[in-house]
Amino acid sequence: MITIKDLHKSYIMGQNSLHVLKGIEFTINDGELVSIMGSSGSGKSTLLNILGLLDSYDEGTFHLNGLTMENLSESKAAYYRNKYFGFVFQSFNLISFKNAQENIALPLYYQGVSRKKRNQIALEYLTKVGLRDWAHHLPSEMSGGQKQRVAIARALVTDPSVILADEPTGALDSQTSLEVMELLTQINNEGKTVIIVTHEQEVSALTNRIIRLRDGLILEDGPTEKVLANV
Amino acid sequence: MFDIDRWKEIIHTLKSNKMRTLLTAFGVFWGIFMLIVMLGVGNGLHNGIYKNMGDFATNSAFMWTQNTTKPFAGFNKGRRWNFRNGDVDALRNNVVGLERLAPRVQGTGGSGANNAVYGKNTGSFSIYGDYPDWNFIDPVDIVSGRFINDMDIINYRKIAVIGKRVKELLFEKDEDPMDKFIRINGVYFKVVGVFESKKGAGQAENEEQNIHLPFTTVQRVYNYGDIIFFFALTADPKVSVATVAEETMKILRKRHKIHPEDDRAMGYFNVEKEFKKVAGLFMGINLLIWIVGIGTLLAGAIGVSNIMLVVVRERTNELGIRRAIGASPINIIAQIIWESVVLTVSAGWAGLVAGVGIIQIIYLATFDAQQSIIYRPIINFNIALIALTVLVISGIIAGLIPAYRAVKMKPIDALRSE
């Protein structure tokens, strides 16, 4: 369960300070499928990065399963990221010189899982996303949709409780986007919390709850049908 | 730690820009190579110089008489005087720390005029009357027979120990000189030993033209009475030669009624002192080698550090991905330091092997060298170990700054960089 209260975040650039998040509050329960919507500059990506402990926040509280995430050391943050979160990025962020299987196995490497075991687990997840035959292909040899599925498999491989996806369909055509969304929905159905940041209405329409941001504040937060009805 | 994936990654990084890796590696290679070669050549120089000295006792001193320069006890200055046989026992009994004492007298001839004859052959050689102890102070290699012994001294035996060159000049090529009689200044001596010099070429040639006779026999044959030409002595290892020599000269002055402050009445040469000067010189050379060598190595290590900084910058995004999926700062630091250490150590190892190889070649080339200033250079195994340790440490240090730079950045900033 994720609970944030009165969350503020500013970026300081030289003399200027850019106030990106101006007091965000929400709770996301286990097993939810949530999309965070907003136009560019609304602070949605920043919010996701803070949720994923990739970035720090200035004010407010952030609790993950009842544990405070305040002033984490980088080692502690890395530990929580590895344990609780799986990331899916718009630009896939696969490591270019590692094949699909090695990319998926990498989070397990940092957990200290033996090579044999982690390759076996990686293959299981590769099968799950339907790319078993592509295990030994490099990312450069795969299509965008395939790369994103490898990225999703990598996010799942540590069996995290939360999947954080930042514009997962941003670099894909509509057909492939649909397939990726189906995969994410399926993962949600298996019990994982899925949080998707997007600016595409078609994507958010496939989630169960929408949090709409504008200029660093929550504009709307509710079930999908209700929020979309207001757009 | 020894996960195969880690090694695959390290090899991948090093291979991804081969030319750059090679040039960087060359810096370290050259550093270690130069250090090893210089140390080896320094060692060879050391061996070459010391070989020239043979096995000369480094804790030795020599003294001889000169005319007095101060009047004392009723004697005028300018008096000529000699060491006497009685001095030997007086010194042996009274000088603390005296290890060996070898008095010597010299026969005539040896500077042009032929003084030794065997059959039809004649030659001009240096003739010395020696005690057995002489061979412990300025030793020679006895190749057949023996050196002078105590019975020769006690019984005034007419025996001779001759140098290799003496044998070559007096005897036919295949003739065995042992137990043959050679005539020296008209007196027949039986050859009981042949020796070779242990010294370098030039000095060896001189030394092998010497003939050693028993001290007492020479005194009697040449009518020297109880005169001693000079003393060679060695000090106990625990006592300095200077102390023993001072003590010896003090007793000699007293016995011969020399003014206690008449320094010029006796000639004196302290081998230890000269030896220490040479040892000091080599210490200086060694120090210089280490400074230059470590400096070169440092330049190589800085090169590695520099390249690792570039590598870290190039891979910022990749390191960001790794951190997003759970790599802790320690993981990242370890990865970069590993790469740096592997690069440094493998390049350094190659330099070490190449350097040792060159030194080995010089070793073999100078193995039988007679007149070479560099002689049988050797690299001490400890030095190789030290060099390797220095490499590992410099690899770690070279990786530290880049590694620190890699984790200083927030993961999200690393991820965003392209």
Q: Are B114 and B204 in the same domain? A: yes
Partners of A52 on chain B (C-beta within 8 Å) are 324
CATH number at residue A171: 3.40.50.300
**Given a cut of 80, is residue B59 above it in pLDDT?**
yes
pLDDT of residue B375: 81
Q: What is the pLDDT of residues B171-212, one digit of tens each?
A: 998 899 999 999 998 899 999 999 998 887 677 888 899 999
**Given a cut of 70, is residue B294 above it in pLDDT?**
yes
Residue at which a domain ends, from B200, B233, B264: B264
Q: What percent of chain A has pLDDT over 90?
A: 46
pLDDT of residue B164: 93
Q: Do A97 and B12 touch (CB under 8 A)?
A: yes
Tell me how far CA of residue A12 lies from CA of A44, A71, B118, in angstroms: 18, 18, 106
Q: Do B415 and A89 touch (CB under 8 A)?
A: yes
Q: Mean of the pLDDT values across residues A15-25? A: 89
Of A56, A107, A115, the CB nearest to B326: A107
Among A94, A100, A104, which residue's Cα sits nearest to residue A171?
Answer: A94
Least confident of A105-109, A112-116, A117-121, B11-15: B11-15
Q: Are B303 and B410 in the same domain? A: yes
pLDDT of residue B51: 77
> Which of B100-109, B138-147, B306-315 tops mean pLDDT?
B138-147
Range of the domain at B185: 108-129+140-221
Of B5, B325, B331, the CB nearest to A87: B325
Do residues B289 and B380 make contact, with C-beta atoms less than 8 angstroms apart? no
Q: Are B353 and B245 in the same domain? A: no
Q: What share of chain A is helix, strand, coil (3-state, %, to 5)?
A: 40, 30, 30
* Angstroms from A173 CA to nearest CA on chain B: 23
Q: What is the pLDDT of residues A146-166, one digit of tens each?
A: 999 999 999 999 999 999 999
Q: Do A75 and B12 touch (CB under 8 A)?
A: no
- When computed from its CA atoms, the radius of gyration of chain A, rounded to whole angstroms, is 18
Q: Do A109 and B5 touch (CB under 8 A)?
A: yes
Supply the ipTM of this predicted assembly: 0.89
pLDDT of residue B112: 62
Work out the pLDDT band at B46, boundaries 50, 70, 90: confident
pLDDT of residue A151: 92
Q: What is the pLDDT of residues B311-320, one digit of tens each?
A: 888 888 888 8
Q: What share of chain B is helix, strand, coil (3-state, %, to 5)?
A: 55, 15, 30
CA–CA distance, B25 with B347 (Å, rounded to integer): 5
* DSSP output for B207-234: HTTEEEEEHHHHHHHTT-TTEE-EEEEE
CA–CA distance, B32 with B355 (Å, rounded to integer): 8
pLDDT of residue A160: 92
Judge whether B134 lies within some domain: no
Q: What is the pLDDT of residues B316-345, one digit of tens each?
A: 888 889 988 888 888 889 888 988 888 888
Judge whether B270 lies within some domain: no
Question: Does B370 contact chain A (CB < 8 Å)?
Answer: no
Closest-CA residue of chain A to B1: A112
CA–CA distance, A97 with A154 (Å, rounded to integer): 15
Q: What percent of chain B has pLDDT over 90?
A: 34
Q: Are B171 and B312 in the same domain? A: no
Closest-CA residue of chain A to B11: A97
Closest-CA residue of chain B to A111: B326
Q: Do A55 and B412 touch (CB under 8 A)?
A: yes
Work out the pLDDT band at B2, boundaries 50, 70, 90: low
Q: Do A81 and B326 touch (CB under 8 A)?
A: yes
Separation of CA B365 from chain center: 19
Q: Mean of the pLDDT values across residues A206-230? A: 88
Closest-CA residue of chain A to B315: A95
CA–CA distance, B47 with B41 (Å, rounded to integer): 10
Residue at which a domain ends, from B190, B221, B252: B221
Among B62, B163, B66, which residue's Cα sits nearest to residue B103?
Answer: B62
Q: Are B333 and B307 in the same domain? A: yes
| Residue B105 host element (H or E) | strand B98-106
Chain A residues 112-151 with a CB less than 8 Å from chain B: 115
CA–CA distance, B100 with B129 (Å, rounded to integer): 16
pLDDT of residue A231: 67
Partners of A81 on chain B (C-beta within 8 Å) are 323-326
Q: Mean of the pLDDT values across residues A88-103? A: 90
Closest-CA residue of chain A to B318: A95
Partners of A109 on chain B (C-beta within 8 Å) are 3, 5
Range of the domain at A36: 2-229
Least confident of A30-44, A57-71, B351-365, B373-387: B373-387
Judge whether B153 lies within some domain: yes
Q: Are B248 and B171 in the same domain? A: no
pLDDT of residue B131: 93
Q: Which two tokens stand for residue A144?
A: 């965008």
Work out the pLDDT band at B398, boundaries 50, 70, 90: confident
**Given a cut of 90, is residue A171 above it in pLDDT?**
no
Least confident of A98-112, B30-44, B47-61, B171-185: B47-61
Question: Does B409 contact chain A (CB < 8 Å)?
Answer: no
Residue at which a domain ends, from B208, B234, B264: B264
CA max distance for chain A: 53
Question: Does B1 contact chain A (CB < 8 Å)?
Answer: no
**Given a cut of 90, is residue B154 above it in pLDDT?**
yes
Among B333, B338, B248, which residue's Cα sits nearest to residue A78?
Answer: B333
Q: Are B155 and B202 in the same domain? A: yes
Q: Mean of the pLDDT values across residues B19-45? A: 88
Q: Mean of the pLDDT values across residues B245-272? A: 90
3-class secondary structure, B328: coil
* Angstroms from A22 CA to nearest CA on chain B: 20
Separation of CA A93 from chain center: 12
| Beta carbons within 8 Å of A187's beta carbon, 6+ residues apart | A152, A156, A163, A194
CA–CA distance, B276 with B274 (Å, rounded to integer): 5
pLDDT of residue B167: 92
Q: Are B360 and B410 in the same domain? A: yes
Question: Does B324 contact chain A (CB < 8 Å)?
Answer: yes
Q: Are B260 and B291 in the same domain? A: no
Do residues B340 and B304 make contact, with C-beta atoms less than 8 angstroms apart? yes
Q: Are B194 and B252 in the same domain? A: no
Of A54, A56, A109, the CB nearest to B324: A54
Q: How are beta strands B98-106 and B126-130 bridged, if at all?
A: antiparallel
Do residues A107 and B326 make contact, with C-beta atoms less than 8 angstroms apart? yes
Q: What is the pLDDT of residues B295-307, one digit of tens each?
A: 888 888 888 888 8
Q: Mean of the pLDDT values across residues A135-149? A: 91
* DSSP output for B148-180: --HHHHHTT--EEEEEHHHHHHHS-TT---TT-
Query: Dihedral angle at the C-alpha atoms of B351, B353, B359, B361, nearest 10 degrees?
Result: -120
Q: Do B412 and A49 touch (CB under 8 A)?
A: yes
| Beta carbons within 8 Å of A13's beta carbon, 6+ residues apart | none
**Long-range contacts of range A155-159, CB-CB < 8 Å, 24 or more positions apart?**
A155/A86, A155/A87, A155/A88, A156/A86, A156/A125, A156/A128, A156/A187, A156/A192, A157/A86, A157/A104, A157/A105, A157/A107, A157/A108, A157/A121, A157/A122, A157/A125, A158/A82, A158/A83, A158/A86, A158/A107, A158/A108, A158/A111, A158/B326
Q: Do A74 and B328 touch (CB under 8 A)?
A: yes
**Considering its fold, how many domains does chain B have in total?**
3
Q: Mean of the pLDDT values across residues A195-224? A: 90
pLDDT of residue A17: 86
Q: Do A110 and B407 touch (CB under 8 A)?
A: no
**Considering its fold, how many domains does chain A have in total?**
1
| Beta carbons within 8 Å of B232's beta carbon, 6+ residues apart | B60, B61, B62, B101, B102, B103, B104, B134, B137, B138
Tally Cβ neighbours within 10 Å of residue B16: 13
Average model confidence (pLDDT) across chain A: 90
Q: How are beta strands B159-163 and B210-214 bridged, if at all?
A: antiparallel
Partners of A111 on chain B (C-beta within 8 Å) are 326
Partners of B331 on chain A (C-beta within 8 Å) are 78, 110
Q: Are B181 and B231 in the same domain? A: no
Question: Does B325 contact chain A (CB < 8 Å)?
Answer: yes
Partners of A87 on chain B (C-beta within 8 Å) are 324-325
pLDDT of residue B237: 87
Closest-CA residue of chain A to B323: A78
Q: Are B281 and B408 in the same domain? A: yes
Partners of A154 on chain B (C-beta within 8 Å) are 325
Torsion region of B211: left, alpha or beta (phi above 0 gives left; psi -120 to 50 gives alpha)? beta
Work out the pLDDT band at B228, boundaries 50, 70, 90: very high
Q: Mean of the pLDDT values across residues A36-53? A: 89
**Given a cut of 60, is residue A201 above it in pLDDT?**
yes
CA–CA distance, B351 with A18 (Å, rounded to integer): 54
Average model confidence (pLDDT) across chain B: 88
Of B4, B320, B323, the CB nearest to A78: B323
Buried b (16+ CB within 10 A) or exposed e, B196-233: ebbbbeeebeebbbbbbbbbbbbbebbebeebbbbbbb
